[in-house]
Amino acid sequence: MAEFRIALIPGDGIGPEVVGEACLVLDAVGRRHGHSFRYESVLAGGCALDATGEPLPAATLKTCQESDAVLLGAVGGWKWDVLPGNLRPERALLGLRSGLGLYANLRPATLHPALAAACPLRADIAALGIDVVFVRELTGGMYFGERGRRQGKYGLEGYDTEAYGVGEIERIARVGFELARKRRRKLTSVDKANVLESSRVWREVVVRVAAEYPDVALDHMYVDNASMQLIRRPSDFDVCVTTNMFGDILSDEAGQITGSIGMLPSASLGDPGKPGMYEPVHGSAPDIAGQDKANPLATILSTAMMLRLSFGLDEEADAIERAVTAVLSSGARTADIRLAGDAAAPIGTRAMGRLVVQHLA
């Protein structure tokens, strides 16, 4: 029986509620497929600040580094919003990313057929389906480049620098190609090579790495065009690899066209063999915390990504995704994915989690 060590960071707000349901689903998958998941629950975010004075205690990072994967709920909340930047719960996320060397952020945007009516695009576009994964570079580019203020032609100016090195581009490109290989073998690299030098280097390197993946079809798209094509013909996209800033914006756009934030999972990966971190895209939703209203499906779908990407358990990951699809097809809805006119009353976090367990084949 294979055993996997998972560091659990329930965090704040709805985090503990959605992580609790995800663990029930993982345990049920483990029982069916002969694996065991050993959890070690650790503090990060606001609850860690309250208990230890730090958003990311050293012991938490150590446990995460020694685990096979990390499952995070969400951190933050109104209570801590008044604290200075270095003591904000969200600091824990930056510390986890750098401490675990997570440089690739994977965000799937999938339109579940049962939720097609929630898609803000035209029905004929939604009918073609949406199933795209954004691979966003997470530790470089303008968000981490040289920045400052200086005197310029028009007075005081602020500046930020976009710079990408060959090694940085190679490793994120490989994540994109490897993922495309497991899917429809189509990779779109998004850049702005008609204007930016950093994008021209990006494109050169991606083309070079493509030679290692002759079975994957590569195309390039300028970021402005990509933002249009995503709403014009989203079904054409499979895997998109792009920079930190372009990925930040485009992955939110892609998420939005698939419906509720409560449905969006994510993975952050570092070098192969190192623990990845899996979390829903949403935050701690303090407005509904503790009320059994949160949709746990984003976190449950994040565990499917964990099984597939960190543990190589493809069949088990498929089983979770199939169960979620079956539950949605049955008409069960938490309040966030319920449309006006839906017949059934909304169900709570716990009922939704248990339905997924029941639908596991």
Chain position carrying tokens 């199939």: 322
Q: How far apart are CA 346 and CA 348, in angstroms?
A: 7
Reply yes or no on whether 164 is catalytic: no
The reply to whether 175 sits near ligand NAD by the rule CB under 6 A is no
24 phi/psi in degrees, rounded to 5: -60, -40
Residues 167/173/179/182 CA torsion (nearest 10 deg): -100
The reply to whether 190 sits near ligand NAD by the rule CB under 6 A is no
The one-letter amino acid code at 64 reads C
The reply to whether 353 sits near ligand NAD by the rule CB under 6 A is no
Reply yes or no on whether 252 is catalytic: yes
Please identify which of the residues 12, 164, 191, 192 carries the catalytic annotation. 192
Measured from the CB of residue 282, what is the shortest distance to ligand NAD in angstroms? 3
219 phi/psi in degrees, rounded to 5: -130, 165
The burial class, CB within 10 Å (0-12 / 13-18 / 19+), for 286 is middle
Reply yes or no on whether 236 is catalytic: no
For 277-296, the DSSP string reads EEEESS---TTTTTTT-S--
Reply yes or no on whether 143 is catalytic: yes
Measured from the CB of residue 203, what is the shortest distance to ligand NAD in angstroms? 31
Helix (H) or strand (E) holding 101: none
Measured from the CB of residue 83, what is the shortest distance to ligand NAD in angstroms? 11
- Among the listed ranges 71-79, 173-181, 200-208, 318-326, the one in contact with ligand NAD (CB under 6 A) is 71-79
Please identify which of the residues 27, 252, 292, 318 carries the catalytic annotation. 252
Q: Please give the residues from 239 up to 298 whose contact with ligand NAD meets the rule CB under 6 A.
A: 261-262, 279, 282-288, 294-295, 298
Measured from the CB of residue 81, what is the shortest distance to ligand NAD in angstroms? 6
Which of 138, 313 has the CB closer to ligand NAD?
138
How many Å separate Cα 237 from the centre of its chain?
Answer: 17
**Hey, which residues are catalytic here?**
143, 192, 224, 248, 252
